[in-house]
Amino acid sequence: MAIVGLSNAGDRLPGKRAVGDDDEAAAADYRLKGVRHLSDAGITRLPGRYVLPASDRPGRSVSAGTRVKLPVVDLGRLRVPSERAAVLKTLEAACREFGFFQVVNHGVDVDGAAARMLDVAERFFELPFQERARYMSADVRAPVRYGTSFNQANDAVLCWRDFLKLSCAPPLRDVVPSWPDSPADLREVAAEYAAANRRVFVEVVEAALEAMGVGGGDGVMEELATAGSHMMTVNCYPACPQPELTLGMPPHSDYGFLTLVLQDEVEGLQVMHGGEWLTVDPVPGSFVVNVGDHFEIYSNGRYKSVLHRVGVNSTRPRISVASFHSVGAERVVGPAAELLDQGRGGEPRRYMDTDFATFLAYLASAEGKHKTFLQSRRLAFG
C-alpha cells in the first residue's frame, strides 16, 4: 500500500508523524538506507534530498529523448585476419569521435553467464534491507561496498540509485570470499561473469591500442592483461515516482581505461554528444563500452572519455553491471611515450601524470560530477 510521499517541508516516514527538528536525524538515516528501501515503502512523491536544481533536471522522460545507436565493434570479425583492419578502423573512430561503442560476438554466453549475472543482481536487491546493509559503507575505498547515490558522503543531492561494488582484482579467487554470501549463488555467478568480462576487456583494449598505433612497450598492456584493477558495480535503479526531477547517476566520466556495461532491456543510459543528451538504444546481447579518463590521458587526448548519465522511469526498475578496468592503483598513467616522441613526429603533452590513488582522493573530497577530475589533469596549453 502506498504511503504519503516525503517532501522538503514536512517529510513523513511510514507510520510516523511529520518530521520536526527533533527527528531530522532519523529522517536522514531513513533516506540513506537507499532508494530500494524508499521504493519498497511505496512513496508517491520524491523526497527533497533527491530533487535536482531546475537547471540540472532531465525534464522529459528517458523514452521521450533523442535516441542513438552506438557504433558496433564485432569481435568475431576482428578475429578474422582479412577483416581485422576494417574493424580496427571502426574501433578507432568510435573511441576518437564518440567515446562509446557496443561490442557484439564477444564470446560471453548471453543466455548463460550474462543472464545469470543480471538474475543474481536482481535477487540481491530483493533481499531484506538488513541483509544488504551488512555491506553498507560510506568509504569509497572499501573493496566490497553496498551504498546509495553516487558519492553519498558528499552529494548535495542524492541520486536515485543503489549499488553493490565488488573488487575483482586478480587473482579473483583471493577476493571472492569477501563478497556477499547471499543470494547463495552470488559468489559463483559473479566470479564466472567477472572472469568472462575480463577476457573481453583484454581483447578490446589490446585492439584499441593497436588501432591507436601504440605497441604497449611501456608494460601497460601486460599489466592490463595480468594484474590491472577491476571493479564491478552492480546498479539498481528502482521505479521512481517523479523521474523528471532526478537522475540515477549525474553527468560524469569514468576513471579507468575501459568500462564494460551489461544491462537489462530497460533503457536509461544517456551519452553527451554534440551538446545533446542521447539515450542509448542497446543492441541485444552486446556490451556497451566506453573510454575512461585513464585511456584519454594515455592516448594524449586522441580517445575521448565523455560525459554520461543515467535517467530513471516511473514504471520499471533497471539493473546494470558496470565493470571498470584499468592499471593497478600504484601505476602512474601519463601519455604514451610513443605519441610524444618528437623524433617520430610526436605531439605536445596535453595531460599531467596521474594514478588511481589520486582519483580516489579526489572522489573522497569532492562532488564528483561534470568531469572535473579529468579537467584537473589537463595541461593549460593542451
Q: Which domains does the chain have, with CATH numbers?
A: 55-333 (2.60.120.330)
Output the pTM of the full model.
0.89
The pLDDT of residue 66: 86
As a whole number, mean pLDDT of residues 54-79 equals: 88
As a whole number, mean pLDDT of residues 272-291 equals: 92
Residue 22: all three cell numbers together: 527533533
What digits encode the pLDDT tens for the residues 108-145? 999 999 999 999 999 999 999 999 999 987 777 788 99
Higher pLDDT among residues 26 and 44, named by residue: 44
Q: What amino acid occupies position 78?
A: L
Percent of the chain whose predicted confidence (pLDDT) is above 90: 67
Lowest-confidence region among 10-24, 198-212, 318-332: 10-24
Strands (E), the chain: 67-68, 72-74, 100-104, 144-148, 162-167, 229-237, 249-252, 258-263, 269-273, 276-280, 287-291, 308-310, 318-326
Residue 42: all three cell numbers together: 511505496
Higher pLDDT among residues 27 and 142, named by residue: 142
Does residue 215 contact residue 96 with C-beta atoms inside 8 Å? no
Res 332 pLDDT > 80: yes
Res 206 pLDDT > 60: yes
Alpha carbon distance 303, 323 (integer Å): 19
Q: What's 114's DSSP letter? A: I
Res 369 pLDDT > 70: no
The pLDDT of residue 358: 82
Residue 10: all three cell numbers together: 514536512
Does residue 292 contact residue 304 with C-beta atoms inside 8 Å? no
As a whole number, mean pLDDT of residues 341-368 equals: 75
Is residue 167 very low, low, confident or very high in pLDDT (cuts 50, 70, 90)? very high
Higher pLDDT among residues 372 and 87, named by residue: 87
Does residue 268 contact residue 255 with C-beta atoms inside 8 Å? no
Is residue 330 very low, low, confident or very high in pLDDT (cuts 50, 70, 90)? confident
Computed over every residue of the chain, the mean pLDDT equals: 86
Does residue 292 contact residue 184 with C-beta atoms inside 8 Å? no
Higher pLDDT among residues 141 and 36, named by residue: 36
The pLDDT of residue 266: 93
Res 93 pLDDT > 70: yes
Q: What amino acid occupies position 170?
A: P
Q: Cβ neighbours of residue 30 under 8 Å, at least 6 residues apart?
A: 13, 37
The pLDDT of residue 14: 37
Alpha carbon distance 258, 99 (integer Å): 10
Q: Cβ neighbours of residue 126 under 8 Å, at least 6 residues apart?
A: none
Alpha carbon distance 315, 46 (integer Å): 14
Res 271 pLDDT > 60: yes
- For the chain, state the CA radius of gyration: 21
